[in-house]
């Protein structure tokens, strides 16, 4: 059951006009922003969703944690894309997942929440600097201890049998054999790339390999509106293109042996 009262060490979302801050409550300390000083001692034992010293204080959502808490060492996968990825790849309680390219760990944190304590994620990142930052984000924000973070290149990893595999690397078409081998039979595979020429390379690689089917390419756009009742209109700026999403499924090619029936 979700608790209703703020406790020491809780994460809170602090809002003042159009500014939002994700902070961890520490008794004896305070938050200083454009609205003035907010003592954390004022919050402890009191409810979420209330104004304190001119600030609105809420229980943070998963989106809040990703957008305002994750330290970005790389471009993150935005929640608008991450939520669609979870639906398309059938991410659910107990799933066994592989993420190729941890980045800053934003998608990892969402996946960890969706699969729960019974699920498991293996996430691999070749760049040591990104690996260290992602590991800190995951340790700080994942509620479930279900993530294994590995510092290695995709070609060095040899796991298999994953329900779903998500790939966020610069040239995924170079590793189609590896990706195909990671997924279980009929396993779901997703990728994200920033340019259309990368899509072409991926689709050509799928055709050459022959072990991928039910492929589609999509782009998710999200447009926000101002919430002023007298003049409702879109914001002047928006995060439009964030990446192209490619989804496919593992297909046993004609030369692959048919697995024995259990």
Mean pLDDT (whole number) for 196-207: 97
Mean pLDDT (whole number) for 166-180: 97
Asked if residue 34 and residue 98 are part of one domain, the reply reads: no
Tell me if 32 is assigned to some domain. Answer: yes
Tell me the pLDDT tens digit for each residue of 203-261: 999 999 999 999 999 999 999 999 999 999 999 888 888 999 999 999 996 555 455 44
- Provide the domain count of the chain: 2
Tell me the pLDDT tens digit for each residue of 46-78: 999 999 999 999 999 999 999 999 999 999 999
Beta-strand pair 50-52/212-218: unpaired
Tell me if 71 is assigned to some domain. Answer: yes
Q: Which domain holds residue 23?
A: 11-60
pLDDT of residue 18: 87
Buried b (16+ CB within 10 A) or exposed e, 121-135: bbbbbbbeebbebbb
- The packing angle between helices 106-115 and 79-88, to 10°, is 40
Tell me the pLDDT tens digit for each residue of 76-99: 999 999 999 999 999 999 999 999
Q: Is 239 exposed, middle or buried (0-12, 13-18, 19+ CB in 10 A)?
A: exposed
- The packing angle between helices 128-141 and 106-115, to 10°, is 40
Asked if residue 214 and residue 85 are part of one domain, the reply reads: yes
Asked if residue 30 and residue 141 are part of one domain, the reply reads: no
CATH number for 49: 3.10.330.20
Asked if residue 99 and residue 77 are part of one domain, the reply reads: yes
Tell me if 21 is assigned to some domain. Answer: yes
Asked if residue 144 and residue 42 are part of one domain, the reply reads: no
């Amino acid at each position: 059951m979700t608790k209703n009262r703020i406790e020491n060490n809780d994460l809170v979302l602090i809002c003042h006009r159009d500014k939002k801050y994700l902070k961890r409550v520490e008794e004896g300390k305070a938050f200083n922003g454009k609205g003035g000083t907010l003592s954390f001692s004022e919050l402890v034992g009191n409810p979420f969703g209330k104004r304190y010293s001119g600030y609105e204080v809420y229980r943070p959502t998963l989106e809040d944690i990703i957008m305002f808490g994750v330290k970005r060492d790389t471009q993150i996968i935005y929640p608008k894309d991450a939520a669609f990825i979870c639906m398309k790849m059938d991410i659910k309680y107990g799933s066994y997942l592989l993420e190729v390219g941890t980045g800053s760990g934003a998608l990892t944190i969402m996946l960890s929440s969706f699969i729960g304590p019974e699920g498991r994620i293996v996430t691999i990142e070749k760049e040591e600097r990104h690996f260290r930052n992602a590991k800190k984000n995951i340790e700080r924000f994942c509620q479930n201890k279900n993530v294994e973070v590995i510092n290695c290149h995709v070609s060095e990893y040899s796991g298999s049998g994953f329900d779903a595999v998500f790939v966020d690397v610069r040239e995924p078409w170079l590793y189609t054999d590896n990706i195909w081998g990671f997924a279980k039979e009929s396993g779901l595979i997703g990728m994200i790339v920033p340019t259309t020429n990368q899509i072409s390379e991926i689709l050509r690689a799928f055709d050459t390999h022959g072990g991928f089917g039910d492929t589609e390419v999509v782009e998710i756009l999200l447009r926000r509106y101002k919430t002023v009742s007298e003049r409702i209109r879109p914001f002047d700026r928006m995060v439009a293109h964030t990446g192209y999403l490619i989804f496919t499924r593992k297909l046993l090619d004609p030369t692959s042996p048919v697995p024995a029936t259990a």
